[in-house]
Chain A
Amino acid sequence: MTATTTGRRRRRRLPDWTRPWLLLSPALFVVLVLFTGGLVLGFMQSLNYMPIIGKNDFNFDAYVEIFNDRVFWMSLRLSLYIAFVSTAISIVLAVACALLIHHTARGRRVTTFIFQFNLPIPHIVGAVAMLFLLAQGGLLSRISFALGLTDSPGDFYPMTNDRGAIGIIAEYVWKETVFIGVVVLAALARGVGDYEDLARTLGASRWRRFWHVILPLITPAIVSTSVIVFAFGFGAFEVPFLLGQPFPAALPVLAYRNFADVDLNARSEAMAIAMVIAVITAVAVFVYTWLSRRYVRSES
């Protein structure tokens, strides 16, 4: 320790524990005021408190209203379905791609670059691309028409604005596979190779090496990214808005419709739906925290 730092330390008046808080204060300010502030205001409106249209009492009418509406439950089910299915497919594809790239001896850098190519592309652009590609008037439909497989656009299997939400899931998988894959690749690069070689010298088969060596090592990466992917797929608005059906609509789209309703009373319901989305997303994050703690503990 040099003399100058010792001197500086002596001059300091604030106790040690304040330092991280001070350093974090700009970020905390943004989180507290913009995020928590928005959450608190939204929560107040969800309790029917909107002085601007003469509603000054707090009550749970909006929650009673949405919980008694089958439309809400259909939207909730659709959003959970979209989030679960797209996350599950993304994980499987991401792990497969990451392993393939990891084991590529030649041209790995190029392959990784191509694999990561869509990371900076916004979801909304991906959604429009899916529309051009998958819609009944889209590229695939035109190709199948040119090949004589279909006679009219209507013959092509509907994959956008469809019941199975294929277009929405395809967009999420297209984007999130790479996101999970990149993190898994990073985890693989951190010395998994040594353990794998060790297991191989001990005679473990390829399948056993995957289940008992690789998978446990990349599980933290999979869990943390998939929780983010799940929460995003559950709460994001633009992709189901563009690629979804008007009914049933994903939960964020339903919330937006109520928010944009010319009847200002529908705003409370919009906010109540938004609160439900926030709670479910928060639960997902807590489950993740709990899982990862448990996992870390069992590892050590």
Chain B
Amino acid sequence: MPKGNRTLRVGVASVLSLSLAAAVAAPVGADGHIPSWEEVLAEAEGQTVNMHMWSGADNINTYMDGWVTDAAAELGITFNRVPGDAPDIVNKVLGEKQAGKDDGGSVDMIWINGENFRTAKQADLLLCDWAESLPNRQYIQETAGINTDFGTPVDGCESPWGGAQFVFVYDEAKVPEPPSSMTELLEWIEANPGQFTYSAPPDFTGSVFVRHVLYHANGGYEDLLGPFDQERFDAAAEKTWEILNGIEPSLWRGGETYPQTKEELDNLYSNGEISMTMTYGPTEVGPLVDNGVYPETTKMFVFDHGTIGNTHFVTIPYNANSQAGALAVANILISPEAQLVRAQPDSWSADPIIDPALTEFEAEFAEVPLHPSVLSAAERSVNANPELVADYVTETEKGWTENVLQR
């Protein structure tokens, strides 16, 4: 036996002293100079902007990789879409902050809202006080939905990008008379076992469905507005779990399991395994029908007592490598041209967040055709229900997991 043919053992006990806060760089704009927009654009030229965003819809990806990328290229910016879920992306930035990477971060922009925005803002992960200074901000009407995000003040830390209402999507061939209220929906579920399910919260879409049940169980959302109230929540939540456990045997697979993502839920619908699905992006349904993913008999409905709507935003991490480039892209996203292209049915088919009347394209916005499977923005917004403060969202998700899923 040759010498040295011993097994090498790596001692786990070997002490590693990693100084986490070693690298601390100077914050942007520390010299107190507020750059002009021209200076921002000059700095942005030649930068690469990595926008991390949910990428579960082909038409949205095509819009970002096509029109938005081209518009950014005109300013000398390389735009790069990076797929990911908002909680993971926030975690990534948090990890960078923990590792002391205070500049040169890998994430330049995030598509975000709600509890993820709150978490990121709480941990000081975001660049703030910039959103209101974007030149194209002039096209956006200042409303409450733009200045608070699920109860968290926006403070210029994120720029509104779009608005959406939650809708139910159904196959008219299987459901000739869609329910018009939560009561009717619950009756329909029990009368049609196996034809309905929802994605397991904390999935975004499943979570908003459960909040509709919460509003219903509470007899309306009005007294849940304002700061989080544990007693009110507990009373409403208990009834909510009762309702959801009650319909469980009538759900897909007898409620033994739930789809874990909206994509899985949509797949069940497109496979014809269930007769209804749901979405927080109603306009995405048109392209899905045209592409043959959904049956042509696909329609959508909202309750007579209204549906939950919200605003989604883009934000920039505090340590983004290409902050100027990210600001320029954020400005592109709310330009009248970008919003008009995005509104077309063969593109993203999304409602504009800007007010068409403030732009020179009012007539063009009015001409955007409506897909026969899609309800108009006006129909969707009747009796619009608000989102509650983010604590209600997280408590509902946690409570659902403990009281419905793990029961």
Contacts and interface: CB of A to CB of B under 8 A. Distances in A.
Interface string A200-238: 000000000000000000000000000000000000000
A193 interface: no
Nearest to B258: A246
Interface in B254-284: 256-260, 267-268, 271-273
Interface stretch (B2-10, B301-309, B329-337, B361-369): B2-10
A246 B10 contact: no
Contacts of B202: 261-262
B47 interface: no
B181 interface: no
B91 A17 contact: no
Contacts of A37: 16, 18
B406 A247 contact: yes
Interface stretch (A92-100, A154-162, A182-190): A154-162
Nearest to A289: B7
Interface in A117-172: 136-137, 152-154, 158, 161-163
B175 interface: no
B122 to A, nearest CB: 8
Contact of B271 (A33, A137, A162): A137
A262 B116 contact: yes
Contacts of A275: none
B88 interface: yes
Given A154-B273, A246-B405, A52 B123 contact: yes
Contacts of A20: 4, 8
Interface in A11-30: 16-17, 19-21, 24, 28
B295 interface: no
B87 A262 contact: yes
B336 to A, nearest CB: 34
A136 B273 contact: yes
Given A40-B16, A260-B91, A262-B119, A137 B273 contact: yes
Interface string B1-29: 00110001010101010101000000000
A137 B267 contact: yes
A33 B14 CA distance: 11
Interface string B366-407: 000000000000000000000000000010000001000110
A276 interface: no
Contacts of B14: 32, 36
A263 interface: yes
A115 interface: no
Interface residues of A, number: 37
B127 interface: no
A44 to B, nearest CB: 10
A161 B87 contact: no
Nearest to A136: B273
B194 interface: yes
B115 A262 contact: yes
B111 to A, nearest CB: 16
A264 B119 contact: yes
Contact of A262 (B256, B394, B406): B394
Contacts of B272: 137, 153
A17 B20 CA distance: 35
Interface residues of B, number: 40
Contacts of A198: none
Nearest to B405: A247
Contacts of B97: 52
Interface string B212-253: 000000000000000000000000000000000000000011
A36 B252 contact: no
Interface in B58-104: 85, 87-88, 91, 94, 97-98
A96 B258 CA distance: 38
B273 A158 contact: no
A41 interface: yes
A24 B8 contact: yes
A263 B94 CA distance: 13
Given A19-B4, A153-B272, A260 B88 contact: yes
A246 B12 contact: no
Contacts of A31: 10
A71 interface: yes
Contact of B256 (A71, A152, A163): A163
B200 interface: yes
Contacts of B116: 262
A282 to B, nearest CB: 9
A264 B4 CA distance: 47
28 contacts: A16-B3, A17-B3, A19-B4, A20-B8, A21-B8, A24-B8, A28-B8, A31-B10, A39-B12, A41-B18, A52-B123, A53-B123, A137-B267, A137-B268, A137-B271, A137-B273, A153-B273, A161-B260, A246-B200, A246-B257, A247-B401, A247-B405, A260-B87, A260-B88, A261-B87, A262-B87, A262-B118, A264-B94
A-B pairs, top 6 by smallest CB distance, nearest first, are: A137-B271, A246-B200, A153-B273, A245-B257, A260-B87, A262-B115
Interface of A: 16-17, 19-21, 24, 28, 31-33, 36-37, 39-41, 51-53, 71, 136-137, 152-154, 158, 161-163, 245-247, 259-264
Given A52-B97, A264-B94, 6 more contacts: A36-B12, A52-B98, A137-B272, A137-B273, A246-B257, A246-B260
